[in-house]
Structure 1
Amino acid sequence: MAIPDEKQRLEEDEYWANFDEPMENGVGCRCRCDTDIVDVEGKDGSCLPEWVDVAGGWASP
C-alpha cells in the first residue's frame, strides 16, 4: 500500500535506499536490520526457546 503523505513516502524511500553495510559472513540481503536485538546465534545451547518466544509462542493444531 502506498503511503499517501508525500513527505513520509520520501522518507521511507530514503530509508530503504540506504541499506546496511556489507558484513563478513553476511547472508547477502540488502535490508535494514534492527540493531537493538541481541544476536542469539553463536552461543552455547539451543536457541529454539528464544525463537519460539520471538515468534509468539508454540503453534498447535
Structure 2
Amino acid sequence: MKSTITIKDVAKKAGVSISTVSRVINDSKPVTDEVKQKVLDVIKETGYIPNPLARSLV
C-alpha cells in the first residue's frame, strides 16, 4: 500500500516550513517566486493532494 504524502513531507523535501507550503497552497501570504516555484515543483513531483476532510475543517 502506498503511503499518503503529507504537507510535512512536501515541506521537508522542498526545504521550507509547513507554514510556507500552506501559504503557497492557499495563496494567503506573500512568498518569493523562487520558493513558490520550488514548493509547486515538489507538489507536482510527489503528487501531493490536500486532504479534503482536513480542508473542510477550516
Give the alignment's TM-score, normalised by structure 1.
0.28
Give the alignment's TM-score, normalised by structure 2.
0.29
| Structure with greater contact order relative to length (CA < 8 Å, sep ≥ 6) | 2
Which one has a bigger Cα radius of gyration? 1
